[in-house]
Amino acid sequence: MELDKINWSILTLLQENARLSFAEIGRNVGLSAPAVAERVLKLEESGIIKRFSVDLDFEKLGYSFKAIISFKVYTGKMQSFLKFISEMHEVYECNRVTGEHCLIMKLIVQKPNELENIINLFSDFGESTTSIVLSSPVEHKVFNQNKN
């Protein structure tokens, strides 16, 4: 799908505030509300927009520890491990990557000892290297094409 400037503007506006009304978006990009609604619907149908969501401050919710775990899965254990973590709400994100480690995950927990328990559980499936996140200087940046 080719995106024109207006669609990129709509995506930028929605990234900054997904609850903007179609009317307000329309005022920004020079379109009527129905025209914006139709464009957004097509962006959803095409899958470019995967989900309207909300960014939470996990620290304020009592989940103060973020960790990044690099994980080398034992031979033959990949499928069962992926199934295992898909049901763990502490595993916020998991990426399969090239390089020495197979997986890089981001976890969110309340206390250090929860992390310890999880690392113990993981040890059945492979070898983990854990880093605690101290801060996130860049977090979920608004994505836009800055060229044209």
Partner DNA sequence: GTTGAAATTGTAGGGTC
Partner DNA sequence: GACCCTACAATTTCAAC
Distances (CA, A) of 1 to 7, 43, 44, 133: 11, 9, 12, 37
Q: Which of 5, 18, 23, 144 binds DNA (CB under 7 A)?
A: 23
Which of 16, 18, 38, 131 binds DNA (CB under 7 A)? It is 38
| Cβ proximity of 43 and 10 under 8 Å | yes
Rule CB under 7 A: which of 119-148 touch DNA? Answer: none
Report the nearest approach of DNA to the CB of residue 80 (Å).
42
Residue showing tokens 């990234």:
15
Q: Which helix H or strand E contains 45, and what residues bound it? A: helix 33-45
CB 129, min distance to DNA, A: 43
Question: Distances from the Cα of 52 to the Cαs of 3, 43, 124, in angstroms?
Answer: 19, 12, 36
Q: Does 46 bind DNA (CB under 7 A)?
A: no
Please choose which of its own copies, DNA, none residue 23 contacts, taking the beta carbon within 5 to 8 angstroms, the exact cut-off set by kind: DNA
Residue 91 touching its own copies (CB under 8 A): yes
Q: Is 148 in the site for its own copies (CB under 8 A)?
A: no
Q: Which residue in the set 75, 86, 113, 148 belongs to the binding site for its own copies (CB under 8 A)?
A: 86
Round to whole Å and give the CA distance between 15 and 49: 10
Give the C-alpha separation, 94 to 116, whole Å: 18
Binding region for its own copies (CB under 8 A): 1, 3, 11, 14-19, 46-58, 60-61, 63, 66, 68, 82, 85-86, 89, 91-99, 101, 104-105, 108, 129-141, 143-146
